C-alpha cells in the first residue's frame, strides 16, 4: 500500500467545524463503504504529519470525498479545513480497514448509529446502499447538537429519507418533529430492530458516545459480535 498524490478538486462547507473535500486520485482502487484513508502532509522542512479519515463517498461515486472536522490543536485537520485550496496536492494511502466496512448480507437489516462527525463512514454506507439498489432494510440514527451541526444536512433531511432519524441533543428548531435527546437505551430500543431480527450494527463517533451506544445495544440483547464500532477520540467540540 503506497502513498499516492491526491489533488483537491472541490471544498464544501458542511458545518461551522466541518468541510468536505473532493479529491482526484489517479488510479485509485475501489473501496468498501466504511473504509478510510491515511492522509499525509509534508511541510517545507520535511516534517510529516498523518491522520486517518473515513471516506465519505460511496464506492460508486466518481471521486473520493473526505469530511474533515477541524480540531484546533490538531496537526492535520486545521490545514485541511482552513488552508487547502482546489488544485493543492496532498498524499493519501488506502483504502484501509476491513472491520468497519459494510457489504450487503441478504436479509440482514443494517442499523447505523453516528455521533457528530462519526456520521461520515455511515453516510458512505447509506450512499452505497442507495447506489447499489440494495433491498436490505437500513436505518441511520444520527445525533448532533443542533440542526446547524448536522453534516450532509440537505442530503440527510431530504423528503424521501425515510431511513434517517435525527436527534438534536442541545437545540431543536421550532416545530422540530425529530428526537431531541441523547442516544440512550430507550432511544436505541425505539429506533433499532429488535435483537431477535439480528441486525448488523455500525456505531461511529467520539469514544464516550460509542461506548454508551454499544453498551445499550448489548443490554437490549444484541450480540456483541454483530456490533461494529469505530471511535474518533476527541472531537474538538462538545459531545454530540
Q: Which of 5, 29, 98, 180 binds another protein (CB under 8 A)?
A: 98
Contact window for another protein (CB under 8 A) among 92-100, 145-153, 175-183, 188-196: 92-100
Q: Which of 23, 79, 100, 202 binds another protein (CB under 8 A)?
A: 100
User: Where is 229: in which H helix or E strand?
Assistant: strand 227-231
Q: Which of 99, 154, 160, 177 binds another protein (CB under 8 A)?
A: 99
Contact window for another protein (CB under 8 A) among 9-17, 107-115, 151-159, 231-239: 231-239
Contact window for another protein (CB under 8 A) among 18-26, 88-96, 143-151, 181-189: 88-96
What is the separation, in whole angstroms, between the first and last Cα of the chain? 34
* Region 27-46 residues binding another protein, contact defined as CB under 8 A: 36-38
**Cβ atoms 202, 141 nearer than 8 A:** no
User: Helices (DSSP H) in 132-198: which residue ranges?
Assistant: 153-156, 185-191
Q: Which of 211, 215, 220, 226 binds another protein (CB under 8 A)?
A: 211
Kindly give, in sequence order, each residue whose CB lies less than 8 Å from that of residue 44, ignoring residues fewer than 6 positions away: none
> Distance between CA 115 and CA 11 in Å, rounded?
23
Amino acid at each position: 500500500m503506497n502513498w499516492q498524490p491526491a489533488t483537491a478538486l472541490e471544498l464544501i462547507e458542511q458545518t461551522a467545524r466541518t468541510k468536505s473535500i473532493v479529491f482526484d486520485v489517479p488510479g485509485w482502487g475501489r473501496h468498501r463503504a466504511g473504509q478510510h484513508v491515511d492522509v499525509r502532509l509534508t511541510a517545507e522542512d520535511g516534517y510529516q504529519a498523518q491522520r486517518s479519515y473515513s471516506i465519505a463517498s460511496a464506492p460508486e461515486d466518481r471521486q473520493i470525498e473526505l469530511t474533515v472536522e477541524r480540531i484546533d490543536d490538531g496537526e492535520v485537520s486545521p490545514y485541511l479545513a482552513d488552508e487547502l485550496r482546489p488544485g493543492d496536492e496532498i498524499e493519501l494511502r488506502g483504502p484501509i480497514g476491513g472491520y468497519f466496512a459494510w457489504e450487503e448480507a441478504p436479509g440482514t437489516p443494517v442499523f447505523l448509529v453516528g455521533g457528530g462527525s462519526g456520521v461520515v463512514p455511515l453516510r458512505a454506507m447509506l450512499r452505497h446502499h442507495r447506489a447499489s439498489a440494495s433491498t436490505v432494510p437500513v436505518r441511520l440514527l444520527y445525533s448532533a447538537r443542533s440542526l446547524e451541526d448536522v453534516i450532509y444536512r440537505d442530503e440527510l433531511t431530504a423528503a424521501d429519507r425515510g431511513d434517517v432519524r435525527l436527534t438534536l441533543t442541545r437545540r431543536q428548531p421550532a416545530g422540530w418533529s425529530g428526537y431531541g435527546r441523547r442516544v440512550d437505551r430507550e432511544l436505541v430500543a425505539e429506533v433499532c430492530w429488535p435483537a431477535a431480527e439480528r441486525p448488523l450494527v455500525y456505531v461511529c463517533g467520539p469514544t464516550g458516545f460509542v461506548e454508551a451506544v454499544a453498551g445499550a445495544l448489548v443490554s437490549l440483547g444484541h450480540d456483541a459480535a454483530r456490533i461494529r464500532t469505530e471511535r474518533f477520540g476527541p472531537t474538538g467540540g462538545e459531545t454530540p
